[in-house]
Chains A and B, each alone.
Chain A
Amino acid sequence: MFIDPHIHMSARTTDDYQAMAEAGVVAVIEPAFWLGQPRTSVDSYRDYLASLVGWERFRASQFGIKHYCAIGLNSKEANNEALAEAVMAVLPLFLAKEGVVAVGEIGFDEQTALEEKYLRLQLELAKQFELPVMVHTPHRDKIKGTLLTMDICEEHGLDPSQVIIDHNNETTVKQVLERGYWTAFTLYPQTKMGSERMVNIAKEYGAERIFIDSSADWGVSDPMSVPKTANLMLNSGISKEEVHKICYQNALEAYCQSGQIEESDWQDASFDQAELFEGNSVLRGQKPLKSSEA
């Protein structure tokens, strides 16, 4: 069993859901992010958030995958102050909903003053709604941005155990782990972290508070990277227990602090596409798949 704790399924096809389910992915967490181009109004942002707690959750259920989400204002769009203010006003409508396991993904992109302002405001929301925080660390000037994010989290009184620092690499892992944060790695086929590099990190740092995700989205990315990397780890001599922690257990422990995700969600659930959904948009006439056949 695997969890992909950071994946943008709204941008993926039903083929991906099917392949992930076949590979053993039982749950996904979809953080709110930008869409590849900026949104120009709070209405489109609200509809996007509504789709994360509504349609996408339902779409995933037809393939036997439990869908959870993180709700937040991302760092790129935090730089549009008018939009950001309006989005901040609607976030409380979503943060208490079923299946919302974190505030996220939030953090820095260019590390501007506006990004910092809305990061701080959202950390306060996380405290108010008693939710963990999923942090997006910047792709440029990463070390400085990662350290700054952790400093700010601590300034706002968040315990490191409540915060997941994502998109780590060899340059950030040591300090993030040492400061007690959940340390997540995004595995991209060409950029950021690759599976082989992840194997080396796991060998060096072990499995404590470390987990991986695909962050697959509308760009070149691989929704199968969690199961693929798990196999590579096993073939590289990393123990089954450690792989289980990195690819399943640690993410579950981090996000179950929200009270919105637990193992019984997928262990007890069966699914039946024919019963749940006749499938005019998703199934389009193919034979419904029952959980016993999956």
Chain B
Amino acid sequence: MNELHSQLEGILRQTSAWNKLRVEITALEENFSRQQFFYLFAICPRWLKSDANSVNISAMLDSAMFDPFGVMTHWRATQVARLYLLIKLYDYSNAVEYHHVIDELFKTADVNEQILLVQSLQFIPQAELFVERAREAARSNIESVFSAVAHNTPYAKTYFNNDGWDQLILKAAFLAVPIWNIVGLKERNNFRLVTMLKDYVLERQAASRSVPWDLFCCPGWLAQGEEDLQFIAGQFQRGTLKIQQAICLALQENAHEPAVYLAQQLKTQLLNPLDSWQAIAELED
């Protein structure tokens, strides 16, 4: 954590607001006040507005070590400053205060703050304290807030219980945001989730509405019995090209022989079977 903290500080030192920030942070270290912390957290965009495009975060951050999913490479100085403050908060307050203050930040957050707070959960100490806040983000209809917990973070995979995990994936289908690249999708795939997704497919089709193509990786990976395979084969026949590609690849990655056999059969109907999720995602609909 200290290493990340140092790297963030190095980035912030390049900003025009650093001196002002440093004075305020020193004052907080000497005499912590919630109100002052809240003020400092909220005021970051105003103070760092002029640095929005001038700080090259990618060049200054050891991404491989601290940001393996590349979240921070899309940030601006404001987000860096806010994460820096959250990590600092852990240093100069006790555990109860730390929890309380971050909880209050969640309760009063604007949309950009919500996104930042959720994205920061993978970087801050004692992140497990904020599972319920992350669950709230996973219930959000604001796509960018939902995506903050669903994409480019191992947080949900690590801390969500089964109920939380299954609802996250189902909600991703509901919001029509990418499912295939949710961290932990294959490791945490399970039969209950597959049933929920299959029901969702049937409900959508009953209403003549489209179904997300990458929803089919989950049932494809776990298809075992005759009924599962029949469902998958039926969906292949009525699906779009992307759905057909997803079904073939998921079955191919299934550990059961009948599923792999079905994949071989279905692939013969594709002109150009693809062997990566990324490649399928890049196909035109």
| Contact, CB under 8 Å: B110 / A278 | no
Given contacts A93-B38, A96-B43, whether A277 and B141 have CB atoms under 8 Å apart is yes
* Residues on the B chain within 8 Å of A55, using CB: 142
A binding-site residues for B, Cβ under 8 Å: 46-47, 49-50, 53-55, 57-58, 90, 92-99, 259, 275-282, 285
Alpha-carbon separation in the docked complex, A58 to B141 (Å): 10
Given contacts A57-B110, A97-B110, A280-B141, whether A92 and B38 have CB atoms under 8 Å apart is yes
| Contact, CB under 8 Å: B177 / A94 | no
16 contacts between A and B (CB under 8 A): A46-B108, A50-B110, A53-B111, A54-B110, A54-B111, A57-B110, A92-B35, A92-B38, A93-B38, A93-B42, A95-B42, A96-B42, A96-B43, A97-B42, A98-B112, A278-B143
| Contact, CB under 8 Å: A277 / B42 | no
B47 to chain A, nearest CB (A): 10
| Contact, CB under 8 Å: B108 / A280 | no
B99 to chain A, nearest CB (A): 17
With an 8 Å Cβ cutoff, the count of chain B residues facing the other chain is 25
* Residues on the B chain within 8 Å of A259, using CB: 46
| Contact, CB under 8 Å: A57 / B38 | no
* Overall SS of chain B's interface: helix
Alpha-carbon separation in the docked complex, A282 to B175 (Å): 12
Cβ of B119 < 8 Å from any Cβ of A?
no
Alpha-carbon separation in the docked complex, A96 to B38 (Å): 9
A218 to chain B, nearest CB (A): 23
| Contact, CB under 8 Å: B143 / A277 | yes
* Residues on the B chain within 8 Å of A99, using CB: 110
Alpha-carbon separation in the docked complex, A98 to B143 (Å): 19
Alpha-carbon separation in the docked complex, A277 to B113 (Å): 18
| Contact, CB under 8 Å: A58 / B108 | no
Cβ of B127 < 8 Å from any Cβ of A?
no
Count, A-B residue pairs, CB within 8 A: 61
Partner of B142, one of A58, A92, A95: A58
| Contact, CB under 8 Å: A278 / B111 | no
Alpha-carbon separation in the docked complex, A119 to B168 (Å): 45
Alpha-carbon separation in the docked complex, A236 to B65 (Å): 68
Alpha-carbon separation in the docked complex, A278 to B174 (Å): 8
Alpha-carbon separation in the docked complex, A205 to B228 (Å): 77
Alpha-carbon separation in the docked complex, A279 to B114 (Å): 19
| Contact, CB under 8 Å: B42 / A50 | no
A278 to chain B, nearest CB (A): 4
Interface membership of chain B positions 138-149, coded 1 if the CB is closer than 8 angstroms to chain A and 0 otherwise: 000111100000
| Contact, CB under 8 Å: B175 / A53 | no
| Contact, CB under 8 Å: B111 / A50 | no
* Residues on the B chain within 8 Å of A90, using CB: 108
* Residues on the B chain within 8 Å of A47, using CB: 107
A-B pairs with the 8 shortest C-beta distances?
A96-B42, A53-B110, A278-B175, A96-B43, A93-B108, A93-B38, A281-B141, A97-B110
| Contact, CB under 8 Å: B112 / A96 | no
| Contact, CB under 8 Å: A96 / B110 | no
Cβ of B45 < 8 Å from any Cβ of A?
yes
Chain B residue nearest to A96 (CB atoms) is B42
Interface membership of chain B positions 166-181, coded 1 if the CB is closer than 8 angstroms to chain A and 0 otherwise: 0000000011110000
Alpha-carbon separation in the docked complex, A217 to B138 (Å): 31
| Contact, CB under 8 Å: A94 / B111 | no
Interface membership of chain B positions 26-46, coded 1 if the CB is closer than 8 angstroms to chain A and 0 otherwise: 000000000100110011011
* Residues on the B chain within 8 Å of A54, using CB: 109-111, 114
Alpha-carbon separation in the docked complex, A23 to B13 (Å): 47
Partner of A46, one of B46, B107, B114: B107
Interface residues of B in 211-262 (CB under 8 A from A): none
B189 to chain A, nearest CB (A): 23
Cβ of B104 < 8 Å from any Cβ of A?
yes
A156 to chain B, nearest CB (A): 20
| Contact, CB under 8 Å: B109 / A276 | no
Alpha-carbon separation in the docked complex, A54 to B114 (Å): 9
| Contact, CB under 8 Å: A276 / B143 | yes
* Residues on the A chain within 8 Å of B177, using CB: 278
Partner of B176, one of A46, A96, A97, A278: A278
